[in-house]
Structure 1
Amino acid sequence: MNQPYIALSIVAPNGTRIAQGRKTLEVRSWQPEQLPLKDIVIVENQNYLTQDGDEEPGLAVAIADILAVHPWRKDELEAACAGYWAEGYFAWEISNVRPINPPAAVMAKRKIYFIEIAHP
């Protein structure tokens, strides 16, 4: 039976890096409207979704919690698996990561959105 979850799409290979515990910060130009975000599904997709309404097939690769967000710092490149640092972004602290194995096919959309998947 499928259950509703909130979801966040992340461009490959970073969804997999989150599922593996290698990426502990997600860097975004915006902050969520409310915290904490518990049991958010990480959906890995192939392209940046930059326009309202953009979506594409993706894979639900993990369930995680985002308990805090702070201004991204220069010393957090490795935790974010980032190649460069830029001012004005926010670091979303990823914790309690539970990989979904096997990953489930779902749609990837912009911002935070709702999906339904079988309870992993």
Structure 2
Amino acid sequence: MRKLYQALSIVAPSGEYITQGVKTLEIRSWRPEQLPLKNLIIVENTHYLNQCGDEEEGRAIAFVDIHSVHAWKNTEIESAKASYWQEGYWAWVIENVRPIHPPVNMPARRKIYWVELEQM
């Protein structure tokens, strides 16, 4: 049975870092409209999707929950697996990571979007 899920695309290798538990914050310039985000699918792709309508093939690699978002702190560079810190960004706290084995090919898009997947 197929089910609709919300998804978030993340450029490699950050998706793998999430499945390994070493990346516990996702840094974005925007905040989600609603929290919590439960059973959010992480779709790993290879390029930044900067323009409205940008899309490429990605791989669904994990389900996660996002219960809170806060202003990103300069002490959180390692938790975000970032190479530098910049003021004005938001840290999404990643919790309850459930890897998808094997990964499933699906579109990677901007922002939070809806995808259909076999119910897991």
Q: Which TM class, normalised by the smaller chain length? A: over 0.9
1:6-41 residue CA offsets vs partner (Å, 9 max, x unmatched): 000000000111111110000000000110000000
Number of corresponding residues: 120
| Structure 1, unpaired ranges of 5+ | none
| Structure 2, unpaired ranges of 5+ | none
SS at match of 2:76: helix
Give the TM-score, by structure 2 length: 0.98
SS at match of 1:50: coil
Q: Tell whether 2:7 aligns with 1:2.
A: no
Q: Residue 48 of structure 1 aligns with which residue?
A: 48
Matches within 5 A, 1:1-120: 1-120=1-120
Q: Percent identity between the aligned chains?
A: 59
Q: Distance in 2 between matches of 1:20 and 1:41?
A: 15
Aligned-residue RMSD, C-alpha:
0.6
Displacement of 1:2: 1.9
Displacement of 1:119: 2.3
SS at match of 1:63: strand
